[in-house]
Structure 1
Amino acid sequence: LREEGKSEHTLCRGQRGLCDYTKFLISRVGEDWIFLILLGLVMALVSWVMDFCIAMCLQARKWMYGGLESNVFLQYLAWVTYPVVLITFSAGFTQILAPQAVGSGIPEMKTILRGVVLKEYLTFKTFVAKVIGLTCALGSGLPLGKEGPFVHIASLCAALLSKFMSLFGGIYENESRNIEMLAAACAVGVGCCFAAPIGGVLFSIEVTSTFFAVRNYWRGFFAATFSAFIFRVLAVWNKDEETITALFKTRFRLEFPFDLQELPAFADVYTVGATQFYRLDFSLQASAVPRTGHFNHLHFDVPPGFGQFMAGRLTQKESLVTLLDNRTWAKQGIAEEFDYFRNYQAWQHPQVNIFVTLVIFIVMTFWMAALAITIPVPSGAFMPVFVIGAAFGRLVGESMAAWFPDGIHMDGTIYNIVPGGYAVVGAAALSGAVTHTVSTAVIVFELTGQISHILPIMIAVILANAVAQALQPSIYDSIIRIKKLPYLPELGWGHPEKYNIRVEDIMVRDVRYITLNCTYRDLHNVLLTGHLKTLALVETVGKLIISTEESSISPTRTTSPKPLKPALKRPSVVERPTELPTSKTPVLLYHQNIHLFLLSNISEWEEMQLDEQVNFNNCKIDPAPFQLVERTSLHKTHTIFSLLGLDHAYVTSIGRLIGVVSLKEVRKPSNPSLSLCKVCLLSTSALLPLS
């Protein structure tokens, strides 16, 4: 018996220790670093699997094309039909499962991080639609990008992981905590897409945030670095790479990468080129409507046809690798023999020199990308713009090499022009101009693995941004305008008159309000005036500065508060008749009389209940809503709304409610072309603010 007692005691101690260890482990699972590791791991796996599937789809297209060499018509049919089938499936699957997955996703995330809740944008079915739709869209070979949708996919993963982690710690149910994790997820999306963690963090901050909390910095860097590391390790594991290297590794000359005399060419040419492409791109964006009929451009890149003049048989990745090559393709306009790599032969044509090929490639890729991004499928615009910029830079670099065939003489040494360096600068400048970001320079450094051209890249990116920002909004802000998402635009440059506008000039004075001693009838009348997410709760009518004709509130009562109970739950209110009629009235007439009697009693009871005072004890009331005074400037109001993510604010004068200003009123002076947002919004809680 004593031995059995000892064994039971030992067993109980072991179970207690296991229970304590489980609680400790669960508590540690709720920490941020575990969450960020899981997020980075999942996104790295998703990115690698998607790249693998996309490569298989593109290889299948080439295999079908190569297997039909005996029949040119069948080659043409296979080359055109294959992407049509994939892109049609992507559009149909996305529209049926989750239409919210269409497009880039960065504009929506920019809106969500501001505090607006967009319906169905962070759900599991949207994640499935985004991943499968993006894989098919990119596998079709159309000039579309992966970077924008991956920001949305990473945010979807973060939202789903937050729901899972809330089982271990309630802190992940906090709304502000979820916003912080979504900000880190945006960095992970760019980091695992390009294997560029530093540029990914900076780029995500620039395109999704107006004000960024520095305390979230480490989360973005940690998760993005881990995700990029796993993404490149998987490439080594699959024997795609020998070791962890840059995604588009370059081999530029390090001892003398460029001459000082080339800086004007870097600055001027790329600024002019970025401006022209930028303005043309947004002229197409402004008139673009998502449609599925933009398949005509698939006829132009067929290799036996017009595609032979624009390297049509190369994928975006293969084109970018060849464009960044440091060797010169032409001397004095005469194409050299491309005998060192098979892919370089796609740029060579017996009747056309390399300059014509590059010009055709730039023009055709530009308008094909402009049409492709309007197809309602998950897609991004960063990578096509990046490739176009690289091609434009390559064209300038080859021209410089033709103008200076003997290179540049410096201290008795001849240094040849490096066209690949111009391609790198062009890619960074054009993508930076279109997105209004400077961090594209950092992304280029991490993509190529070299910073030899850091000075011309930074000069070109800054100048391109300066010119582009003076002309039009970024591509993401333009999409926000087209979709009419509830985002607050910047005040803009060159409008000093906006700084003289006050809150009293834009506020709404017809405020729907209720008082502390109002009746249910008063509350009913206010609710009938329109769709209201919140109501202003004030102490007395006497404290309101509001005209009588603008108020829809009837005089209040001072009766004792009594809670309202539904009529169906109070059977004692309507008493049954104690005696049945003794006359020989038909049964039908008897039931009609009883029905009328009950209806009259219910109506009288409802009228009595409507005249009783409302009990606010069980209501969610915000005791300190955000308030502004009538003399607050528009600039200060704009900053407060952007910093705090406000949806509306009440305007008071000496503690008295005089109006309300919402996001709609602040947006109109910022940009009069913007109209009221028509998106499905969810209110996190029904608040009744006090003044």
Structure 2
Amino acid sequence: MEGAPKQEIHRLTTSDVIFIDMLGGEHGAASQSGSTAASLSNAARNVAASVRRTADSHAATWIEQAKAESGSTSSGSTKASTRGHSRSASADDARQQTHRTSLQASSRSPTFFLPPGATAATSSAQGSQQRSPEDDDMMEASAWIYLALISSLSFGICIAVTWLATRLNDLVLWAASTASASNSNLELVFLIVLRAVLAATAFYSTRILGDGFSTGSGLPEVKCVLGGAYQHRVLSVRTLLSKMLGLSLALASRLSVGRLGPFIHFSVIVAAQVSQLRALFPRLAGSPKLQMQAFSAAAAAGVSATTGSPLGGALLSMELTGLYFFVHWLPVALYSAIAGYLLGARFLRLDQLAYFHTEARLGLRSNEVGTVFLVVALGAICGVAGACGVKLALLASRKVRFLTARWHLKPIRIAALVVSVCVAHSVISAGLGELFEISQRSAVIMLFEAKSLPLPRFCSSAAHSASVVGLVGCLVGMTSIKVVLTVASVVLPLPAGVFMPVFFTGALLGRAYGELACHLVGPRSWLDPRAFAVIGSAALTAGVLHTVSIAVVILELIGSTSHGLGPWLVLSCVVSYFVSKNLSADLFSELIKSRDLPLALSIRELSMPELRAPWRSRLAIVPVNEFMQTQFPSVYPDTTAAELARLLRSHWTVCAVLSDRESCFILGTMRRTTLLRELTAEESRALAMCAIELGDTRVEPVVAYGATVRSDQREQDDRASTYGGLRIEALMQFDPNVNGNVAATSALINAAPFGIHPMTPYWKVSRYFQMLGLPRIYIVARGRCMGLVTKQQFLKFSSDARKRYISEGTAQ
């Protein structure tokens, strides 16, 4: 699960996220991931230098000219009259120096340049009447190339991580064997010490080299990204490299961790980096929708790289990462999964061996009624066990996150916690015998194939004395211990997946159930305990992750469909899913809710008790006018340079173009980049002068319908200032008194922004954000723009309302 420090989690949930417009048109918001590392609220402070470099080449000259003019006239009568009093030359020089310093270095400098991640090239002047080109193509021509590239790189990275973990484990075994001089007890001590060192190294590598998101599985963050909440550090190269190293070390330490989540994270990072190659793939770099498609296909490649199952990998990735999935994206995901699989088949011969081999059979026509009853019962047991495991893991995750946040400045304590868990894990595994000492995959194969199992020494006597009863009791005990070891391992601040540990635990539980069923029913040719181990592994995974497509994955993994297990796998997964859904949400959804990650919650992320809770009904009917914001970026046909300078001091990407200050009819929306590109040289000089005049003055509040609040003194200053009163020509064109044909200039704006009525209920707003991928929705009544709801604001309101309603219900 997720062990990132609390501070890092807080940054992800508040200001580090850029919400992508997948419906139409803020091209380049996601593609410029290298530039969007700065948060929305702290962008000016973090990337002031890079923002200036993206400005128009003449802007620096205009600023210098403006400062020179301001300096030359600062002690004159014009300044005296506009300010109402005279200033000395020395005081004016000091003020100009202060302004010069603030423009060059201050984090609150009144910059009117492009926002982080935006360039003039990324802001085409296409209006809303033009259709996005990717809407006409299911898969554009260059997608065949970049998807194959993404898949091949993802498989290569996953293969490299697996190879490194295997080599490190072999090296540890060799070193322990060599140093112990054939003394088994001394060899165990050396193994424990070396594996603890690997675990501590994994922690420090992710902490020192990582970017705040190198721990855990990464699936909650990936799910948020695919939901439209783009965050650069989640998809940075630094995160990729540190997590690769950390995962290799964690796997070599033999903790109960898996690879599925981190491998999906690796693949999506690769897709994000490839999408920045504007010179090679311009359409991919300029289209958020194509990037989301590439991310989704990359997730399928990550699952395929983990399990070697292209078909099941594509389906499983849809269930794990998708809120709403475009049906025509499925062939794209399958192509990506198979492209990487061919690479694995070439170098690892994945097509020539089964990932999990078994000879177990469970015929469909042997005893339908008895088999159905046994499979349904096993599915229900796995569903209950899965829900209990999710609750236990969530409690442990909260405790570890609290400790890591508390010890954030004392990493030695966190390292001690990691080492302690690793030592305990190694000691317990050594005591439980061969099943826990070998790799998890080898242990699963043994449960699927072996008719007799190697048991711990303390279980051998009981198994011999009481036959099957002792064996079942021993397996149940081993299952319980494996649950504890898995929870203790995956909540540590290390890269860790949960698929293989859960899969192994389900195989143990299924084998115990199968042995007990054979003992109670008696010797039957149609009953095979190994078959129940296969079914149990799938059912428990479905109960923890709420993924029924795991049945398809297992059919691919066992390498044959002739065992008669297909229908029983599907039945057990479906039963486990519904039983677990009625008790708890899936593991990653619980983590998303626990950490307040930026994701609009849907039926997928909520359990049945939550869906039926009274607070859901109360929240669903809340009208949007109760949580909309009436203060939002807006411009008018008569907007002056001074007003625009104040507006540009705040960070925004899209503003509303309103008809006038009285009626406030919405004419459309205009991107910041478009507005700046349309400025004339004189207007740019005016903005530079107004920026200097503003100095370090903070952004003024905005009244209802977006009109800027200004004091009477400032209004006098604006009217008196030569530059401040200059009207913007690009906006004047929307004044019917100046240009009666407003449609001629509609290419500058999106004339059809998404708007809803103020009485639209919450549940509809939620569907709009989820299904359409909108970053903002305008609230419009009879053409009048009443307010705005951004996705970030909506998610915060949803989280606060959910907590408030739950606390009120608990109090009652």
Q: What's the TM-score once normalised by structure 2's chain length?
A: 0.65
Match for residue 508 of structure 1?
A: 629
Cα separation, 2, equivalents of 1:221 and 1:641: 27
For 1:548-570, what per-residue CA distance to the aligned partner results, in whole angstroms no more than 9, with x for missing partners? xxxxxxxxxxxx99614169899
Match for residue 122 of structure 1?
A: 235
Match for residue 110 of structure 1?
A: 223
Is the Cα–Cα contact under 8 Å of residues 195 and 232 in structure 1 kept in the other structure?
no
Cα separation, 2, equivalents of 1:509 and 1:29: 41
Amino acid paired to 1:361: M
Is the Cα–Cα contact under 8 Å of residues 103 and 379 in structure 1 kept in the other structure?
yes
Amino acid paired to 1:296: S
**CA offset at residue 266 of structure 1?**
1.7
Amino acid paired to 1:506: F
For 1:201-244, what per-residue CA distance to the aligned partner results, in whole angstroms no more than 9, with x for missing partners? 111111211221222222211121232233244223xxxx8x61
Match for residue 316 of structure 2?
A: 203
Amino acid paired to 1:647: P
Match for residue 278 of structure 1?
A: 387
Aligned residue among 432, 442, 448 for 1:318: 442
Aligned residue among 656, 660, 665 for 1:540: 660
Is the Cα–Cα contact under 8 Å of residues 217 and 261 in structure 2 kept in the other structure?
yes
Size of the alignment, in residue pairs?
577
Aligned residue among 563, 570, 577 for 2:683: 563
Unaligned runs of 5+ in 2: 1-138, 405-413, 464-470, 667-679, 694-716, 733-746, 805-812
For 1:574-621, what per-residue CA distance to the aligned partner results, in whole angstroms no more than 9, with x for missing partners? xxxxxxxxxxxxxxxxxxxxxxxxxxxxx9999443343345569985
Larger Rg, first or second structure (1 or 2): 1
Is the Cα–Cα contact under 8 Å of residues 200 and 419 in structure 2 kept in the other structure?
no
Match for residue 437 of structure 1?
A: 547
Aligned residue among 504, 507, 518 for 2:639: 518
**CA offset at residue 512 of structure 1?**
5.4
Match for residue 144 of structure 2?
A: 33
Superposition pairs for residues 342-361 of structure 1, below 5 Å? 344=454, 350-353=460-463, 354-361=471-478
Q: 1:643 to 1:372 in 2, by over 3 A?
A: same
**CA offset at residue 466 of structure 1?**
1.1
Match for residue 411 of structure 1?
A: none
For 1:524-564, what per-residue CA distance to the aligned partner results, in whole angstroms no more than 9, with x for missing partners? 56677x76565433121211499xxxxxxxxxxxxx99614
Q: Compare the two structures and name the one with the higher helix fraction.
A: 2
Match for residue 164 of structure 2?
A: 53
Amino acid paired to 2:639: C
Cα separation, 2, equivalents of 1:604 and 1:537: 21
Cα separation, 2, equivalents of 1:367 and 1:673: 34
Superposition pairs for residues 32-431 of structure 1, below 5 Å? 32-67=143-178, 68=180, 71=183, 74-98=186-210, 99-164=212-277, 166-175=278-287, 176-236=289-349, 244-253=352-361, 259-260=367-368, 261-286=370-395, 287-290=398-401, 291=404, 292=414, 293-302=417-426, 307-308=431-432, 311-325=435-449, 327-329=450-452, 344=454, 350-353=460-463, 354-405=471-522, 407-408=523-524, 415=525, 417-431=527-541
Is the Cα–Cα contact under 8 Å of residues 314 and 346 in structure 1 kept in the other structure?
no
Amino acid paired to 2:535: V
**CA offset at residue 515 of structure 1?**
2.7
**CA offset at residue 113 of structure 1?**
1.5
Amino acid paired to 1:375: L
Is the Cα–Cα contact under 8 Å of residues 393 and 487 in structure 2 kept in the other structure?
yes
Amino acid paired to 2:447: L
Is the Cα–Cα contact under 8 Å of residues 255 and 489 in structure 2 kept in the other structure?
yes
**CA offset at residue 653 of structure 1?**
0.3
Is the Cα–Cα contact under 8 Å of residues 199 and 422 in structure 2 kept in the other structure?
no
Match for residue 581 of structure 1?
A: none
Is the Cα–Cα contact under 8 Å of residues 315 and 549 in structure 2 kept in the other structure?
yes
Q: 1:484 to 1:66 in 2, by over 3 A?
A: same
Is the Cα–Cα contact under 8 Å of residues 626 and 649 in structure 1 kept in the other structure?
yes
Q: What's the TM-score once normalised by structure 1's chain length?
A: 0.75
**CA offset at residue 629 of structure 1?**
1.1
Match for residue 66 of structure 2?
A: none
**CA offset at residue 393 of structure 1?**
0.6
**CA offset at residue 141 of structure 1?**
0.6
Is the Cα–Cα contact under 8 Å of residues 633 and 655 in structure 2 kept in the other structure?
yes
Q: 1:197 to 1:367 in 2, by over 3 A?
A: same
Cα separation, 1, equivalents of 2:284 and 2:185: 58
Cα separation, 2, equivalents of 1:635 and 1:561: 47
Cα separation, 1, equivalents of 2:621 and 2:425: 55
**CA offset at residue 380 of structure 1?**
0.9
Amino acid paired to 1:426: G
**CA offset at residue 312 of structure 1?**
3.2
Is the Cα–Cα contact under 8 Å of residues 561 and 615 in structure 1 kept in the other structure?
no
Q: 1:111 to 1:34 in 2, by over 3 A?
A: same
Is the Cα–Cα contact under 8 Å of residues 303 and 312 in structure 1 kept in the other structure?
no
**CA offset at residue 398 of structure 1?**
1.4
Q: 1:522 to 1:379 in 2, by over 3 A?
A: same
Q: 1:259 to 1:225 in 2, by over 3 A?
A: farther
Cα separation, 2, equivalents of 1:370 and 1:93: 22
Amino acid paired to 1:443: V
**CA offset at residue 628 of structure 1?**
0.9
Is the Cα–Cα contact under 8 Å of residues 347 and 357 in structure 1 kept in the other structure?
no
Amino acid paired to 1:371: A
Is the Cα–Cα contact under 8 Å of residues 641 and 647 in structure 1 kept in the other structure?
yes
Cα separation, 2, equivalents of 1:126 and 1:484: 21
Cα separation, 2, equivalents of 1:308 and 1:606: 85
Amino acid paired to 1:162: S
For 1:481-514, what per-residue CA distance to the aligned partner results, in whole angstroms no more than 9, with x for missing partners? 2332211001653244444333234323455544
Unaligned runs of 5+ in 1: 1-27, 330-337, 339-343, 409-414, 547-559, 574-602, 677-691
Cα separation, 2, equivalents of 1:606 and 1:96: 55
**CA offset at residue 378 of structure 1?**
1.8
**CA offset at residue 71 of structure 1?**
4.5
1:654 aligns with 2:782: yes
Percentage of matched positions with identical amino acids: 22
1:635 aligns with 2:763: yes
**CA offset at residue 397 of structure 1?**
0.8
Q: 1:126 to 1:658 in 2, by over 3 A?
A: same
